[in-house]
């Protein structure tokens, strides 16, 4: 089989994920076989409720054989999950299922000899229990990665927050020259590998208009010197720019990536501009991990109204990039 398989984790079982997966699989046939780590009982339940039909090819994890993968079928690694009633609410009851799915999914990467990994949305509050800020940090910890970044990717414009799921009051302490350098390096490496060019990166300031009346100004003391240093190293960076104008059309079209200082500074305008037409890629891992750029959306479960665009983008991205990533 020429194309490397795509490993997909169900994520939160009480979510819209299986609905958007079924819709994604209806859209087109893929070159890469899909291995789904989920519950057979859960899938059959959702298929019946959502009137979706697809062949399920049960795969034995312990005796895995790539030759048994079937293209354009759901190759399933079964993880037990018992449904109590028609639609369950998100709770910590899902945690065992999600932990087992991640353990199997990450082990599969080596068994299958692939680098393509997607996980469905997960309730951070219930699953992480304050041990990690987000799923990005959880996965990085599982595989021993110290330098990583969250890239919200669209082929026309991507954004990366310097800090992720932390309170605003803690953001300023996380803004360091090293942190800025690490994120720019990860972004540039990714674009050179998968887009074959050095990206133009706009770096935002922290304070309104990149100004502050405080004695200590992060924009002047940390961000500006960091940009000058990165330019000397040959990176295509500029800034700092104020966040209130960088996303205007005449400004954003000059850049491939906008690096912000905190989560909502860049994710709010990104989602306003592109809605579901973006994917969440974790940079710095020894494989490509992608998740749809939205949460479990518990209130929409079972209504068959959810938009699959982000998951379609995730599968299509990995389906195109089936060859081994070139070294940079």
Ramachandran region of residue 77, left (φ > 0), alpha (ψ -120 to 50) or beta? beta
Which helix (DSSP H) or strand (DSSP E) does residue 291 occupy? strand 288-292
C-alpha distances out from residue 281 to 2, 9, 140, 195, Å: 24, 15, 12, 14
Whole-number Å distance between alpha carbons of 75 and 68: 9
- Mean pLDDT confidence for 276-297: 88
Strand partners, 258: 159, 202
pLDDT of residue 90: 67
Q: Is residue 88 very low, low, confident or very high in pLDDT (cuts 50, 70, 90)?
A: low
The string of pLDDT tens digits covering residues 30-68 is: 889 999 999 999 999 889 888 898 999 999 999 888 888
pLDDT of residue 258: 98
pLDDT of residue 326: 44
Same fold yes or no, 1-145+285-328 and 149-279: yes
Q: Is residue 306 very low, low, confident or very high in pLDDT (cuts 50, 70, 90)?
A: confident
* pLDDT score of 202 more than 90: yes
* Topology given in CATH for the domain delimited by 1-145+285-328: Isopropylmalate Dehydrogenase (3.40.718)
* pLDDT score of 122 more than 70: yes
Q: What are the two backbone dihedrals, phi and then psi, of residue 257, each rounded to the nearest 5 degrees?
A: -140, 140
* pLDDT score of 87 more than 60: no
User: Do β-strands 56-58 and 6-9 pair in parallel, antiparallel, or remain unpaired?
Assistant: unpaired
Q: Decide: 291 and 120 in contact? Cβ < 8 Å.
A: yes
C-alpha distances out from residue 198 to 116, 184, 206, 237, 264, Å: 23, 11, 25, 10, 26
CATH for 149-279 is 3.40.718.10
When the pLDDT of each residue in the chain is averaged and rounded to a whole number, the result is: 89
Q: Decide: 263 and 296 in contact? Cβ < 8 Å.
A: no
Would you kindly state where each structural domain of the chain is located, as residue ranges? 1-145+285-328, 149-279
């Amino acid at each position: 089989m020429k194309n490397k398989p795509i490993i997909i984790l169900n994520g939160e079982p009480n979510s819209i994920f299986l609905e958007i997966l079924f819709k994604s699989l209806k859209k087109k046939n893929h070159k890469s076989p899909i291995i789904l780590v989920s519950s057979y009982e859960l899938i059959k339940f959702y298929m019946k409720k959502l009137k979706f039909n697809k062949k399920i090819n049960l795969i034995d994890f312990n005796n895995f054989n790539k030759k048994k993968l079937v293209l354009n079928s759901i190759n399933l690694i079964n993880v037990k999950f018992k449904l109590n009633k028609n639609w369950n609410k998100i709770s910590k009851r899902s945690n065992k299922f999600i932990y087992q799915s991640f353990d199997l999914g990450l082990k599969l990467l080596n068994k299958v000899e692939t680098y393509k990994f997607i996980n469905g949305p997960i309730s951070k509050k219930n699953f992480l229990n304050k041990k990690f800020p987000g799923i990005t940090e959880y996965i990085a910890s599982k595989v021993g990665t110290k330098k990583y970044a969250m890239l919200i990717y669209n082929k026309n414009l991507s954004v990366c927050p310097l800090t992720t799921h932390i309170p605003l009051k803690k953001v300023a302490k996380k803004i360091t020259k090293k942190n800025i350098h690490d994120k720019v390096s990860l972004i540039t490496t990714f674009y050179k590998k998968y887009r074959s060019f050095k990206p133009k990166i706009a770096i935002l300031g922290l304070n309104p208009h990149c100004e502050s009346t405080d004695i200590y100004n992060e924009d002047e003391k940390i961000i500006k010197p960091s940009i000058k240093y990165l330019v000397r190293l040959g990176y295509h960076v500029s800034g700092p720019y104020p966040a209130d104008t960088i996303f205007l059309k005449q400004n954003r079209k000059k850049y491939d990536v906008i690096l912000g200082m905190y989560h909502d500074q860049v994710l709010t305008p990104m989602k306003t501009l592109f809605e579901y037409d973006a994917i969440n890629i974790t940079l710095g891992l020894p494989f490509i991990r992608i998740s749809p750029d939205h949460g479990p959306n518990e209130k929409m479960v079972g209504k068959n109204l959810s938009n699959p665009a982000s998951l379609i983008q995730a599968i299509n991205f990995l389906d195109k990039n089936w060859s081994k990533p070139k070294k940079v």
